[in-house]
């Protein structure tokens, strides 16, 4: 399959290893990955902050950039949810944008959805001999409804020891601009999540959103907890020959 990668802003600027891991993983599974160079932000931050017109412009650019893609992979649950859940609210009914979104949005997937639902694979041949706890992020859990897809993928990773995270479905407190507008509440929620993560005894906390891992990971670093964070893609791309480093 020919898969268009929408790498997202956070991954592109702060976590490039996630995008690289996605490409390695999909190549290993025998698929072609293309990277449209005209891609920019999905507009999530603008939309959530009330800048509807600016978000519309970015939505137009997105649908034009990925219009011909068989499928679009966004290794970020929140960005995939922005396209599928919020883009339909940006265009006037029957408008060009509205029609383009209706055509493209169903072809935009999170990594776990793409692997399990589209490619039909739950064992990607990964090897990661470490203890891992999985944090289901809010957008993936509540908007994309990823369910047990990430768990199914992780449970088939060779050498892995999965630990259960208490309060897994509770928000980590990041929420994009929420963390800026409500820093004290955000920090308190992040501390709760970090405490539960450390209590698992796992070496690594995994999620499908690096923005959430950035928030939790920052808390873990300040606490000197010794726990690392990794995107799901990096664990799934890990092999005995090319191991991911926690």
- Predicted confidence (pLDDT) per residue in 57-100, tens digit: 999 999 999 999 999 999 999 999 999 999 999 999 999 999 99
Alpha-carbon span 23 to 21, nearest angstrom? 5
Q: What is the pLDDT of residues 90-123, one digit of tens each?
A: 999 999 999 999 999 999 999 999 999 999 999 9
pLDDT band per the 50, 70, 90 thresholds, residue 177: confident
Rg (CA), the chain: 18
Instruction: State the average pLDDT for the chain.
Output: 96
Which domains, ranges and CATH numbers included, belong to the chain? 2-118 (3.40.50), 131-237 (3.40.50)
pLDDT band per the 50, 70, 90 thresholds, residue 231: very high
Residue 175 pLDDT greater than 90, yes or no = no
Mapped onto helix, strand or coil, the DSSP state of residue 220 is: helix
Q: What is the pLDDT of residues 114-158, one digit of tens each?
A: 999 999 999 999 999 999 999 999 999 999 999 999 999 999 999
In eight-state DSSP terms, residue 89 is G
What length is written for the chain?
Answer: 246
Residue among 94, 75, 86 nearest 46 (CA): 86
Distances, alpha carbon 27 to alpha carbons 36, 42, 95, 182, 220, in Å: 17, 25, 37, 41, 33
Cβ atoms of 144 and 84 closer than 8 Å: yes
pLDDT of residue 211: 94
pLDDT of residue 178: 86
pLDDT of residue 246: 81
Residue 245 pLDDT greater than 90, yes or no = no
Give the mean model confidence (pLDDT) for residues 198-226.
Answer: 96
243 by Cβ neighbours in 10 Å (0-12 / 13-18 / 19+) ranks as middle
List beta partners, residue 163: 133
pTM (two decimals): 0.95
Q: What is the pLDDT of residues 1-12, one digit of tens each?
A: 899 999 999 999
Residues of the chain with pLDDT > 70, as a percent, come to 100
Token pair belonging to 61: 């650019």
pLDDT band per the 50, 70, 90 thresholds, residue 180: confident
Q: How many CB atoms lie within 10 A of CB 210?
A: 26
Token pair belonging to 24: 């390695």
Token pair belonging to 30: 């025998």
Range of weakest confidence among 34-38, 108-112, 241-245? 241-245
pLDDT band per the 50, 70, 90 thresholds, residue 179: confident
Residues of the chain with pLDDT > 90, as a percent, come to 93
Indicate left, alpha or beta for 167 from its phi (over 0: left) and psi (-120 to 50: alpha).
left
């Amino acid at each position: 399959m020919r898969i268009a990668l929408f790498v997202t802003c956070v991954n592109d600027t702060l976590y490039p290893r996630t995008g690289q891991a996605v490409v390695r993983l999909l190549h290993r599974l025998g698929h072609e990955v293309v990277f449209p160079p005209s891609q920019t932000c999905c507009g999530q931050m603008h939309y959530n902050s009330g800048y509807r017109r600016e978000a519309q412009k970015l939505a137009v650019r997105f649908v034009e950039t990925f219009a011909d893609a068989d499928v679009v992979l966004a290794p970020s649950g929140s960005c995939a949810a922005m396209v599928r859940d919020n883009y339909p609210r940006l265009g006037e009914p029957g408008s060009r944008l509205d029609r383009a979104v209706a055509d493209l949005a169903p072809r935009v997937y999170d990594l776990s959805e793409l692997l399990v639902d589209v490619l039909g694979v739950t064992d990607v041949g990964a090897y990661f001999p470490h203890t891992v706890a999985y944090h289901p992020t809010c957008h993936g859990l509540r908007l994309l409804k990823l369910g047990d897809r990430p768990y199914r993928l992780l449970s088939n990773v060779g050498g892995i020891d999965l630990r259960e995270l208490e309060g897994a479905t509770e928000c980590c407190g990041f929420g994009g601009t929420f963390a800026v507008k409500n820093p004290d509440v955000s920090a308190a929620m992040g501390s709760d999540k970090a405490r539960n993560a450390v209590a698992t005894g796992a070496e690594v906390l995994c999620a499908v959103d690096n923005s959430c891992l950035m928030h939790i990971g920052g808390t873990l670093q300040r606490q000197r907890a010794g726990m690392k964070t990794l995107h799901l893609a990096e664990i799934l791309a890990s092999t005995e020959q090319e191991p991911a480093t926690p």
